[in-house]
Structure 1
């Protein structure tokens, strides 16, 4: 009999999650360098999870299939603060949603757990498709905006600048907050003492000089050092 109780063993989900979290931290996915997020080439030189993401995107051919829509990878995986189950978030610039949905369905409609939807938020239309590819959930997010102007990419760039200053200890603390249930932007806002809407406050930091970000991070460093 292979029942866990017969061997006096009980699988502890929380302990397993904490172990995987420590393994990610040990990788030290140090992004203390200038990174070109307009390609996915940097993933090849990243941590194990980032290299795995590169291999999956390459195998799938997703960036090539979406090339005419200027796709960019956003989210937490590029920053090395992802958790198990984090999405590969692909941003696209799209103006003809009917045509784009047809393209996505033809390319990814047969993938496990495929679904798509459209809605308008704050007057801005958006299209979202999601599916599973290997070990990664994938989300394709499209708006009629250049991908470098979409909030997902803007947050990515700001958070990268912050993590360069926060160091490995800051990165580990962000990841631990996320493991405890925080979303990414609220986790950053909590650590940096930013009040109000965390998504808007993070975008405001785009205008900060390097010196201003240095001052902000140094003033909050005791929260993760």
Structure 2
């Protein structure tokens, strides 16, 4: 049985409603339209109250068998909850930083802009790289001929105006 579209899975799991107090935002490849078979659904949250967040997560994952929850030991110490539901793997990333400031959201926004500005040819190139096994940011970096760390290189593009990005896309 094929998995439903990501937005249907989110609706059935009621994740955004359950996480509403934490400013949940869906990011990653499904909403960008560049998902591959192994893509997961990423939900980014603003961790304003760790105890309340953990209560919500327990309610979400308690009926599920395949889940994990971890907390990073460095930086802002985000909490990551991963589980399967509706044929998808979900990953909830909750960080004390507001979602707008989180690297994952910033990557998502610049990738959406690039896909919009680059049109079908650029989207096809990114998809070709994704299907070859590359993760999203490295695929974008290669498609754009960026050097260095692909995660940082993409963030360096976010301040550029759309006309500058469009010009860069036509040059590749």
TM-score when scaled to structure 2?
0.93
Counterpart among 141, 149, 156 of residue 101 in structure 2: 149
Report SS of the residue matched to 2:72.
strand
- Correspondence for 2:52: 99
In structure 2, C-alpha distance between the alignment counterparts of 1:113 and 1:171, rounded to whole Å: 33
Partners of 1:112 and 1:133 within 8 A in 2: no
CA deviations on 1:155-213 (whole Å, 9 max, x unpaired) are 11101111112211221221121111111111111111111111011011111011210
- Correspondence for 1:207: 159
In structure 2, C-alpha distance between the alignment counterparts of 1:190 and 1:103, rounded to whole Å: 39
Partners of 2:43 and 2:93 within 8 A in 1: yes
Mark the runs of 5 or more structure 1 residues left unpaired by the alignment. Answer: 1-48, 221-225
Q: How far has the Cα of 1:107 moved from its partner?
A: 2.2
Are the structure 2 counterparts of residues 176 and 75 from structure 1 closer, same or farther at C-alpha, using a change threshold of 3 Å? Answer: same
TM-score when scaled to structure 1?
0.72
Larger Rg: 1
Q: How far has the Cα of 1:110 moved from its partner?
A: 2.0
Mark the runs of 5 or more structure 2 residues left unpaired by the alignment. Answer: none
In structure 1, C-alpha distance between the alignment counterparts of 2:127 and 2:62, rounded to whole Å: 32
- Correspondence for 2:79: 127
Ranked by relative contact order (alpha carbons within 8 Å, sequence separation 6 or more), the top structure is: 2
Q: How many residues align?
A: 170
In structure 1, C-alpha distance between the alignment counterparts of 2:167 and 2:128, rounded to whole Å: 24
Structure 1 consecutive aligned stretches of length 4 or more whose deviation exceeds 4 Å:
none
- Correspondence for 2:32: 79
Partners of 1:117 and 1:127 within 8 A in 2: yes
In structure 1, C-alpha distance between the alignment counterparts of 2:20 and 2:167, rounded to whole Å: 39
Q: Does 1:59 align with 2:37?
A: no
